Structure 1
Amino acid sequence: MDNLDLMMQVFQYLLGVIPGDIAGNIVAVVTTIVTICTLIIRFWKMPEPSSKLYKLWKLLHVLASFKAPPVSKTESKDGQKIT
């Protein structure tokens, strides 16, 4: 079974269990968070991996696009700095 199929089945099950007004509120909140993160990432240049704000930028990038940000040339895939 594909991961997407499993995720859709879980999503459909949860929507069936949760009352409609609460599900609507959850969807509205998640949509707002994703939209705000997308706007922030759109106008915020990626900070240097050594910066303290880099972890915040990575979190916002994941929330905005649901995928990992691009790996910097000075950072390995596991997050360790390459010297």
Structure 2
Amino acid sequence: MDTDLMMEVLQYLLGVIPGDIAGNIIAVVTAIVTICTLIIRFWKMPEPTSKGYKLWKLLHVLASFKTPTTIKVENKNGQKID
């Protein structure tokens, strides 16, 4: 989705919704993003096969609005592994 289109939709919705409700929505979204950012900052990425990976991935999406990429690591032979 184009960023300009998202901004237009957001501006339209904020114009339709009453000011006090829009302010509350923005405050809640800001708090959620901030909390998720703090959690992701201090929580090391778990292994993709672990149970906590799905939760970590959801928190990462809420914190940064993009999906996490798998980090490629090179072993001592120079081969890339996931």
Q: Same fold (TM over 0.5)?
A: yes
Q: Identity percentage over the alignment?
A: 82
Question: Retained in 2: the 8 A contact 1:49–1:72?
Answer: no
Higher-strand-fraction structure: 2
Instruction: For 1:25-64, list aligned pairs within 5 A.
Output: 25-64=24-63
Question: Retained in 2: the 8 A contact 1:37–1:60?
Answer: yes
1:66 is matched with which residue?
Answer: 65
Runs of 4+ in 1 over 3 A off after TM superposition: none
Q: Number of residue pairs matched?
A: 73
Q: 5+ unaligned residues in a row in structure 1: which ranges?
A: 74-83
Inter-partner Cα distance in structure 2 for 1:49 and 1:4:
30
CA RMSD of aligned residues (A): 1.6
TM-score of the two chains, using structure 2 as the length reference: 0.83
Query: Could you tell me which amino acid in structure 2 is paired with residue 15 of structure 1?
Result: L
What's the CA shift for 1:38? 0.3
